Each structure stands twice: as C-alpha cells, then as structure tokens.
C-alpha cells in the first residue's frame, strides 16, 4: 500500500474510518517512504519510527479518535518534542532532548497524530533556503539542485516528497509561506497569537507564529483547527474562539467567490519579480475573477519599508532571545578547560555553536539596540511597524483580503544568494508586511514557471483567518494541485 | 561612507559574547555594512508623532491565578546541562583569580 503516501489527510481519514487501512499501516508507509527517499531530499533531521508507530497503535486500539487521528505529521525542529532531539538545526543544541512538549505538540498527540520526525530548517529559523542549517541543506523535490525555501524547507519538502501528508512550520517573516510557494505546497501563517508559541524556540517573539503545512487547502485548515486556540502558557495567545477555517476552506472549494473583494497592492509593482511568477499570479487572479471575485487596487505606501523594518526588529529580538544559549543550562559548552572564565567559555561556546547567519543577526541586533543607535534603528522600525499596520487596516476597509505572489522568485539554485545576505532577505519581500501587522496569510500553489512552482499569497485581517481559507479553497478548486517529478 | 567599521563589529561581537575569528570579522564587516545601509531606509519615514508598535496584540499584563502547579523535576531540568554537580548547574569560574 505504498500509494498511501499520495493520499491527503482527508483521504487517509476516510480509509481509516472505513477500516480499509490501519493507522500503523499509514505510519509505516510514510516511514518507509522516508527511508527510501530522504537520502536524496534530506527533509528530516531525526526520524522517530518507534514513537510514530506507538502513537498509531493507540489509534488502532480505539484510544484516540478525531478528524486527524492516525494521520502522521512532520514537525519543524524549532518546536520542542519531549525526549525527541530538538536542535533548531544548530550545533549549539546538537543532541538536546527537551524535557517538555510544545503546546502544539501536545495538541498533535491528543489528536492522535503520529509524529514521524523533526524537519530541517535554517538555523534558528533564520534564512530563506535551509542553506543555513548546520546539518546541510534540504533539497527541493522539484529539482534536487535547488533550495526548498526557508526557514521551513524541511517541512515543505517532506510534503512535496510524499514523506508526510501534514507538517508543522513556524513563520516569522515568511518561513511557512515561502517554502510552501517554492515546493508547490500549501502553508498558512495564522494570526499572531492564534497559535501558541509555548515550546517554540524563540527567534523573534513579537513575530514568531507556528502554523500548518499540507498539500491541499482543506488539509491545511484541518491542521490549523487542531493546533490553534488559546494557551494560558503563552501570554500573547489570544483568548478568543478560533475562526472556523475548515468550514471556510470547504465553502471556498465550492468555487464561488461572488461578492468577495480582492485587493492588489499598488506598491507591489513587480519590480525584482520574475516574469513567470508575475504571469502565474495574473492568471490566478483572472481565475478568481471568473469565480465572482472583484479586484480592487489599494495603496499601502509604507510596505516599501517593511523589509528594512523587519531586518531591524527581528535581529534585535533575536540578539536578546539567543542570549539564553550560554553553555550553562543545556546545549553545547566549548573551551571549558578548568582555567577559562565563564565569560570566555560563553564566548567560545557561542562562537562554536552558532552559524554565520545567526552571528550576523545577533551582531546587527546588538547594534540596533545599543545606546546612540536605538532611536534611529529599533525605535524607528517600531514606528514604521505602526504605519504598516495602519496601511493594512485602511486596506481592509475597502477589500476582504489582499493578494500577491508569495515570493518574487521560484526556487533558486544552491549557493546563488548566500554570498550577499541581503539578496537572501529579498525572498521575503511579499511575506514580511503581514508578520509586522500580525494578521494571517496563506500561500497556495498557483502555477509553474519554467517547471517550478509559484505561490499565491492571500492576506487577511487579524482573527479573520477563515477569509483567506475561503479564497485559498476557491483558487485550488480552479487551478488544482501540482505534483513534482518522481524521485 | 561605511555604516559600520571592522572595529565596531569586533566591539559588538564582544558585547554579544561571540569569540569571532579575524577572518569572520573581515567578512562580517563588509556584509553588515551592506545590510545596515539597506535597513537604514526606515529613517526616510517621517514618523515623529507615530507611536511605536512592539507587538501586534494589544495586551498589557497577563496574569494567572497564583496557584502552585507541577513544574519540571530537578532531574529533568538538569537533563540537558553540559555539566551538573550535586543537583546543580556547574559553571566555569566567574571571578578572576586576583578578585
């Protein structure tokens, strides 16, 4: 039954309900697929065969039921899993086994979802290609010589390679959506505060948002519903009911968008975007118009400052958050010869444990927060953040959602953007405004450019995650899904 | 003009507790200069009267009831420690010999 790996979560649940397959068979099929192809893809940093099979057995024994019970999942390695190695793709956490589960992992376990393993990423979620993983990059299943996006390239590639039907990602500046776009999969960043950050290894706490990844819109919505909702252990978690994203996705899949207003952002001129990306976006927009949607141009004049503001705010927060890696309580300790001071050991530990992009961002953040520069950099970036939020709020008075390409370019070849870090940052041009605002956004496959997938991004108002799922479902109903060449 | 000098990068690395190598200093100084010149664009925005946003969720303090709850055991808390001694984290010396 190796074709079980080609099924969606919805299809797998139907087979499980009909008792045509067991949860153990489903988990085994995916574990075998990982064993067969992950040597080429390298989506996983750790595979937990025993744990996944034990969870599947509990579902087969009838101990756990529910809409995703028995559907296996891959989890990004920045999310803590009790007793299962969690490294955030960094040498500084090599071999670390967390003593606790993240809230979203607890919810996956309660939902009866076998966790297949932990997926590769850019170190501490800083990057757009997985090339900054300390354990080597993940290869894009569409073309193994190209990046799978980042930071959550492992989760996206695991879906595209049929190693997992569902995956967890985290999105600070586009780390769910951009990998989704370049691997032809779906990825959603929920409203900030809509999903718990408890157990997420912190990068930029005011932006980090865990979210669902899948191959279809409905599967993404089901996973969204399984992990979202208030968590008292995360003080920024929103104590409101989760919008009904599953119903919205199903409504959208019926293919009717009558009365829905889609906003295109005047300031996203397309400059710097590949022609094939713009063409696929335009065709998708036309397809949505055929379903009854109306397209309105809106102006968001401060979006042009989103990238600079983000690359001050995120490094500033990271320089503070990553201070916890001090070689004392967990993780690596380097240079402790019994003679060196704590400070020397700390500096040697961090030097040995962090990769180049993490070091760059810590140094930039330290700079932006230092006295004399604080007002001009961090303080000013926070004001720009207010203006970007106002742009969104004004736009959402005129339209229901905003749409754009997810990323300006398709999957690029390895090594083509690592020498100039700012070129890598440009991958996040369209995804970052949403993170600064805090609203939800989703990337849906919308076509191919030179044989490589293009993503369509839908951004919605805060706590209106359901709106983007409706449009996403409608787009999928019009355009379909995309299958990479066989590995 | 460079936004940041090699000496400044060395100083920031010390503040950040990163024992960077000479080779890294050479590389980072140029790269950080490009990045800082790009992000300095935030300064173009007239935002004097604009309040800063630190966070997208409008919350001040979030309290919970002060009820004791189970926490990690001592063994679990020490399970990842690079060096532990009699139920505690063992650290390198924190004072100079002469102090």
**pLDDT by residue for chain A (487 residues), tens digit each?**
459 999 999 999 999 999 999 999 999 999 999 999 999 999 999 999 999 999 999 999 999 999 999 999 999 999 999 999 999 999 999 999 999 999 999 999 999 999 999 999 999 999 999 999 999 999 999 999 999 999 999 999 999 999 999 999 999 999 999 999 999 999 999 999 999 999 999 999 999 999 999 999 999 999 999 999 999 999 999 999 999 999 999 999 999 999 999 999 999 988 889 999 999 999 999 999 999 999 999 999 999 999 999 999 999 999 999 999 999 999 999 999 999 999 999 999 999 999 999 999 999 999 999 989 999 999 999 999 999 999 999 999 999 999 999 999 999 999 999 888 888 889 999 999 999 999 999 999 999 999 999 999 999 999 999 999 999 999 999 999 999 999 9
Q: Say how many C-beta atoms besides its own lie within 10 A of residue B44's C-beta.
A: 12
- Count of residues in chain A: 487
Q: Is residue A192 part of a domain?
A: yes
Out of A152-156, A289-293, B17-21, B92-96, pick the least confident.
B92-96
CB atoms under 10 Å from CB of A117, counted, come to: 29
Q: Is residue A54 part of a domain?
A: yes
Question: Is A132 a domain residue?
Answer: yes
A97 is catalytic: no
> Left (φ > 0), alpha (ψ -120 to 50) or beta: where does A214 sit?
beta
Which one from A133, A175, A237, A404 is the annotated catalytic residue?
A175
Whether A69 and A116 have beta carbons less than 8 Å apart is answered as no
Helix axes A217-227, A103-110, angle to 10 degrees: 110
Given a cut of 80, whether residue B1 has pLDDT beyond it is no
Distances (CA, A) of A211 to A104, A168, A207, A294, A403: 9, 6, 13, 28, 19
Which residues lie below 8 Å from residue A19, measured CB to CB, with a gap of 6+? none
Q: Is residue A11 part of a domain?
A: yes
Residue B99 has pLDDT above 60, yes or no: no
Query: At residue B51, what are phi and psi to the nearest 5 degrees?
Result: -70, 145
- Distance between CA atoms of residues A352 and A2, nearest Å: 42
Range of the domain at A57: 2-254
Contact predicate B33/B2, CB 8 Å: yes
Q: CA-to-CA distance for A266 and A70, rounded, in angstroms?
A: 45
Query: What span, in angstroms and rounded, lies between the C-alpha atoms of A9 and A3?
Result: 13
**Tally of structural domains, chain A:** 1
Which one of B29, B35, B73 would you mutate to disrupt binding with A, by most A Cβ within 10 Å of its Cβ? B35
**Residue of chain B whose Cα is closest to the Cα of A92:** B82
In the predicted structure, residue B98 carries a pLDDT above the cut 90: no
For A408, phi then psi, to 5°, come to: -70, -20
The tokens for A162 are 């049929």
Q: Crossing angle of helices A275-290/A465-479, nearest 10°? A: 100
From the candidates A76, A109, A118, A189, give the one annotated as an active-site residue: A76
CATH of the domain at A118: 3.90.1300.10
Contact A238 B57 (CB under 8 A): yes
A447 part of a folded domain: no
d(CA A166, CA A226): 12
The closest of A195, A266, A255, A277 to A443, measured between CA atoms, is A277
Q: What is the CA radius of gyration of chain B?
A: 23
Separation of alpha carbons A156 and A166, rounded Å: 9
| B66 interfaces chain A, CB cutoff of 8 Å | no
Domain regions of chain B by residue span: 6-43
Partner residue opposite A236 with nearest CB, options B15, B55, B77: B55
Question: What does the pLDDT average to over B12-40?
Answer: 94
CA A158/CA A178 separation, integer angstroms: 15
Burial pattern A429-442, b for ≥16 Cβ within 10 A else e, equals bbbbbbbbbbbbbb
d(CA A433, CA A301): 12
Say how far apart CA B10 and CA B19 lie, in whole Å: 9
Which residue shows structure tokens 């039954």?
Answer: A1
- Rounded to the nearest 10 degrees, the angle between the axes of helix A306-321 and helix A380-398 is 130
Distance of CA A418 to the CA centre of its chain: 21
Give the CB-side neighbour count of residue A113, counting CA atoms within 13 A: 27
Interface size between A and B, measured as CB pairs under 8 A: 184
pLDDT of the residue at A1 = 44
pLDDT value, residue A457:
98
Q: Which residue has the tokens 């109306």?
A: A294
Burial of residue A371, with CB atoms counted within 10 A of its CB: 0-12 exposed, 13-18 middle, 19 or more buried: exposed
Give the chain A residue nearest B64 (alpha carbons). A232
Rounded to an integer, what distance in angstroms lies between the CA atom of residue A457 and that of residue A434? 11
Burial of A259 (0-12, 13-18, 19+ CB in 10 A): exposed
Which token pair is A299?
A: 């102006």
Whole-number Å distance between alpha carbons of A164 and A27: 9
What dihedral angle (degrees, nearest 10) is formed by the CA atoms of A104, A106, A112, A115?
70
Q: With beta carbons under 8 A apart, name residues in chain B contacting A348.
A: 19
Look at residue A46 and tell me if it is in a domain. yes
Top residue of A300, A311, A380 to mutate, by most chain B CBs within 10 Å, is: A380
Cα–Cα separations (whole angstroms), residue A409 to A141, A272, A292, B86, B87:
17, 9, 28, 55, 52
Task: Give every CB contact of residue A462 below 8 A, 6+ residues apart in sequence.
Answer: A191, A192, A437, A438, A439, A440, B56
Cis peptide before A151 (omega within 30 of 0): yes
Complex ipTM more than 0.85, yes or no: yes
**Does the pLDDT value for residue B72 go beyond 90?**
yes
**Is A151 annotated in the active site?**
yes
Paired residues of A255 in beta bridges: none
CB contact under 8 A, B16 and A351: no
CA distance B67 to chain A (A): 13
């Amino acid at each position: 039954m190796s074709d079980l790996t080609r099924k969606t979560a919805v299809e797998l649940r139907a087979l499980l309900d009909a008792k045509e397959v067991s949860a153990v068979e489903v988990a085994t099929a995916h574990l075998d697929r990982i064993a067969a192809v992950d040597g080429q893809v390298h989506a996983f940093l750790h595979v937990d065969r025993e744990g996944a099979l034990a969870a599947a057995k509990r579902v087969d024994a009838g101990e756990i039921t529910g809409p995703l019970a028995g559907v296996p999942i891959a989890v990004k390695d920045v999310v803590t899993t009790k007793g299962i190695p969690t490294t955030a793709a960094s040498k500084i956490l090599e071999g670390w086994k967390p003593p606790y589960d993240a809230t979203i992992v607890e919810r996956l376990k309660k939902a009866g979802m076998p966790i297949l393993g932990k997926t590769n990423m850019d170190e501490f979620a800083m990057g757009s290609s997985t090339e900054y993983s300390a354990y080597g990059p993940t290869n894009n299943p569409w073309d193994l010589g190209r990046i799978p996006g980042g930071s959550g390239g492992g989760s996206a590639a695991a879906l595209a390679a049929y190693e997992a039907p569902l995956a967890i990602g985290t999105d600070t500046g586009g780390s769910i959506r951009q990998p989704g776009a370049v691997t032809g999969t779906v990825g959603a960043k929920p409203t900030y505060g809509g999903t718990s950050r408890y157990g997420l290894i912190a990068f930029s706490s005011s932006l980090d948002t865990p979210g669902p990844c899948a191959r279809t819109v409905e599967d993404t919505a089901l996973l969204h519903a399984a992990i979202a909702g208030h968590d008292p252990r995360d003080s920024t978690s929103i104590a409101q009911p989760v919008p009904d994203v599953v119903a919205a996705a199903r409504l959208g899949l019926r293919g009717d968008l009558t009365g829905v207003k889609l906003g295109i952002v005047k300031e996203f001129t397309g400059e710097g975007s590949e022609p094939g990306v713009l063409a696929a976006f335009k065709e998708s927009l036309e397809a949505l118009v055929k379903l009854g949607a109306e397209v309105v141009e809106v102006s968001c004049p401060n979006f042009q400052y989103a990238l600079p503001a983000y690359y001050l705010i995120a490094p500033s927060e990271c320089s503070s958050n990553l201070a916890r890696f001090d070689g004392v309580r967990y993780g690596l300790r380097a240079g402790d010869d019994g003679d060196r001071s704590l400070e020397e050991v700390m500096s040697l530990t961090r030097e040995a444990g962090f990769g180049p992009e993490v070091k760059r961002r810590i140094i930039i953040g330290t700079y932006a927060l230092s006295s004399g520069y604080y007002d001009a950099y961090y303080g000013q970036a926070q004001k720009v953040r207010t203006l970007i939020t106002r742009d969104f709020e004004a736009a959402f008075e005129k339209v229901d959602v905003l749409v754009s390409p997810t990323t300006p370019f398709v999957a690029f070849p390895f090594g083509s953007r690592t020498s100039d870090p700012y070129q890598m940052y440009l991958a996040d041009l369209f995804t970052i405004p949403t993170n600064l605002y805090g609203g939800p956004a989703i990337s849906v496959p919308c076509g191919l450019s030179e044989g490589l997938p293009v993503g369509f991004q839908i951004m919605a108002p805060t706590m209106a995650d359901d709106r983007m799922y409706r449009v996403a479902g409608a787009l999928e109903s019009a355009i379909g899904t995309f299958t990479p060449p066989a590995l | 003009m460079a936004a940041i000098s090699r000496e400044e990068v060395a100083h920031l690395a010390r503040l950040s507790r990163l024992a960077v190598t000479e080779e890294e200093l050479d590389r980072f100084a140029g790269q950080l200069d490009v990045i800082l010149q790009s992000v300095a664009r935030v300064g173009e925005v007239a935002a004097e009267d604009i309040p800063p946003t630190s966070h997208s969720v409008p919350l001040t303090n979030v309290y919970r009831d002060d009820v004791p709850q189970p926490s990690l055991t001592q063994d679990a808390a020490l399970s990842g420690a690079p060096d532990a001694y009699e139920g505690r984290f063992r650290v390198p010396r924190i004072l100079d010999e002469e102090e």
